[in-house]
Structure formats: C-alpha cells, structure tokens
Amino acid sequence: MQDREGVKRLCRVLAMLALAGMAAVPLVTLTVWWFPQLLSDEVYATLGGSNVDPAALLALGPLQRITGMLVLLTGSGLQMAALWFLRRTFLEGAEGRWFSLAAVRNFRRFAWLSLVIVAVSVVQDSALSVITTIHLPPGQQMLVLSFGSNDFQRLFTGLVMLFVAHIFAAGREVDEENASFI
C-alpha cells in the first residue's frame, strides 16, 4: 500500500510539473523571439531556437519577429495541449485510477499529439528559414527543408508513446476483467 501512496505522490508532482511546463512553453517562445539578446547561443539552442541565430533575430523587423513568433506559437499551442492531456493522466493516477477510461484516453491523446508535434516542427523550421531570410537580398534568401537526427529521435519517442498508450489500453481491459471477478 505504501508503494501506491508513493506513486500517487509522484503523480501529483508530475501533474504540477506539466502545469508549469504549460506556462513555460509560450513564455520561452516569446522570450526567444522578442528578447533574443537576453539569451546566450548555448541557452538559445537548447530552448528550441531551431536553426536561427539570435543575432539574426536582432536584425529582423517587428513584422518578421511577430510572424516568427506566431509560427512557433502554433507548435507551442500543440505542446501545451499535449502537456494538458499528460497532466490529466497524472491527475487520474494521483487519485489511484491508474487504468480509468479518462487516464487511457488522455495518454493516447498525448501520444498522438507528440507525433503531430514532430510533423509541425519540420514545417515550422522551414517557415522560419523563409521568415528569417526574406529581408536579405535575392540569392541569400532560403527555404530549408530538413529532417535531422533530433527530428528522428522525437518521431521515435512519439511512436514509443503511442505503443505505451496501446499497452495502457490493454491494461485497462485486464483491470476491468479482474474487477468483474471480485
């Protein structure tokens, strides 16, 4: 019984972290695009600055910065939604409802959104390459299409999450079957 209380406590902590992540995602995006001078190159790269140099952001006009921010905020919205579903899964666990229908559905939604985010990030990176070079003279403007090792890693992680969601659903069926015997 004590192990279950520990898992419930962990679920509550993870639910709070997911909520904090939901608040941090748009704030980081706004900071990266509106105040790039505040971040070092190393910090910038780890915060999802894509392939955009902070110095290049300083050279952009307000319309380009706003456009870049809006492009990234669409992905941020998806990340926030994924964290919302993950948080709801953790809240079910915090109440000891490990295999409730809500927990399974929310985790499955999180897994699918994780895959969607991979596709959106590839499109976002391409859009950002245009947004950040459109002010340059002809011949220096770019459209970059890429799918790198980080994208592959995120795709693989999303597929693993989808697999876990299916295992989670199977666990729910077993849990219901066991409950019918008792």
For 1-34, how does the pLDDT look when each residue is reduced to its tens digit (9 = 90+)? 567 899 999 999 999 999 999 999 999 888 878 8
User: What is the helix, strand, coil percentage profile of the chain, to 5?
Assistant: 80, 0, 20
What pLDDT was estimated at residue 50?
53
Residue 105 has pLDDT above 90, yes or no: yes
Those residues with Cβ within 8 angstroms of residue 69's Cβ, 6 or more apart along the chain or in another chain: 29, 30, 33, 34
Mean pLDDT value of segment 131-145:
84
Q: Is the pLDDT of residue 49 over 60?
A: no
Residue with tokens 């915060």: 47
Q: With the C-alpha atoms ordered 92, 98, 101, 107, is the resulting torsion angle positive or negative?
A: positive
Cα distance between residue 172 and residue 99, in whole Å: 5
Whole-number pLDDT of residue 46? 56
Count CA within 13 A, CB hemisphere, residue 2: 0
Confidence band (pLDDT; 50, 70, 90) for 44? low
pTM, to two decimals: 0.83
Question: From residue 27, how far is each of 47, 77, 121 by CA, in Å?
Answer: 11, 12, 18
Answer yes or no: are the C-beta atoms of 43 and 86 closer than 8 Å. no
